């Protein structure tokens, strides 16, 4: 049985680092190419191509790994993505990695500024965002680059996912006694039928490389 893992976000919360850790595990392989993110389940058309197309397109490199993973941070903000994913793949592992909303908002602003999407100061951008959402160009980004405040309201985005896939665990990484995670820590992903995990990364976590 092929097992799948989706890292659904949130943006600017360490998902790229998490992707690297997961892909370095000998029993996990992540979708390729990783950039741009696949975002398959943000589209009815792409989802309609089916599981065989999904695996052939993004996991042709896979060997005998036990888990096929994908990271697409836009999934968290798409309320239809959970149903699309379940319709194609059935029961899967879902992982959301979260961060202090204020730190996340500042990081989001820096990213948008560095990529030429934002020209306002941080103070102005946040004040205007509190007043309401700003128009953005969907041809440049899949989700708004200006959703600094609302993107940190995690509970609103998590509800569709938690309604579709039964939560089984939350891991506050900042409270771990050690910042080193060994291979055995991946066992829940590889043995449970459905895993739902939320992590709050405040410390760097090292993972044994292949």
Given a contact cutoff of 8 angstroms between Cβ atoms, the answer to whether 29 and 66 are in contact is no
In a domain, 38, yes or no: yes
- Per-residue burial over 122-136, b = 16 or more CB atoms within 10 Å of its CB, e = otherwise: eeebbeebeeeeeee
Those residues with Cβ within 8 angstroms of residue 73's Cβ, 6 or more apart along the chain or in another chain: 7, 8, 9, 10, 11, 15, 37
For 18-50, the pLDDT digits (tens) are 999 999 999 999 999 999 999 999 999 999 999
In a domain, 171, yes or no: yes
Q: 3-class SS at 30?
A: strand
Rounded average pLDDT per 10-residue block, the chain, 210 residues: 90 94 95 95 97 97 95 95 97 93 96 96 96 91 92 93 82 44 42 45 41
In a domain, 10, yes or no: yes
In a domain, 67, yes or no: yes
- What's the structural domain count of the chain? 1
In a domain, 174, yes or no: yes
In a domain, 96, yes or no: yes
In a domain, 22, yes or no: yes
In a domain, 168, yes or no: yes
Q: What's 175's domain CATH number?
A: 3.40.50.300
pLDDT of residue 179: 34
pLDDT of residue 1: 65
Those residues with Cβ within 8 angstroms of residue 193's Cβ, 6 or more apart along the chain or in another chain: 91
What residue numbers bound the domain in which 171 lies? 3-100+157-199
């Amino acid at each position: 049985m092929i097992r799948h893992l989706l890292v659904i976000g949130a943006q600017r919360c360490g998902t790229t680092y998490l992707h690297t850790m997961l892909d370095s595990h000998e029993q996990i392989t992540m979708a390729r190419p990783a950039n741009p993110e696949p975002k398959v389940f943000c589209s009815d058309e792409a989802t309609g191509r089916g599981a065989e197309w999904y695996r052939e397109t993004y996991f042709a490199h896979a060997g005998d790994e036990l888990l096929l993973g994908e990271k697409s941070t836009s999934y968290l903000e798409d309320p239809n993505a959970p149903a699309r994913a379940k319709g194609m793949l059935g029961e899967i592992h879902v992982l959301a990695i979260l961060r202090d909303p204020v730190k996340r908002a500042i990081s989001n602003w820096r990213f948008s500024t560095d990529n030429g999407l934002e020209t306002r100061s941080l103070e102005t951008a946040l004040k205007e965002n509190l007043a309401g959402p700003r128009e953005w160009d969907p041809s440049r980004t899949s989700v708004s680059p200006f959703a600094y405040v609302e993107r940190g309201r995690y509970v609103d985005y998590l509800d569709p996912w938690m309604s579709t896939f039964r939560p089984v665990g939350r891991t506050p990484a900042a409270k771990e006694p050690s910042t080193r995670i060994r291979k055995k820590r991946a066992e829940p992903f590889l043995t449970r039928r459905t895993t739902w995990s939320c992590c709050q990364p405040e410390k760097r976590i090292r993972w044994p490389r292949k």
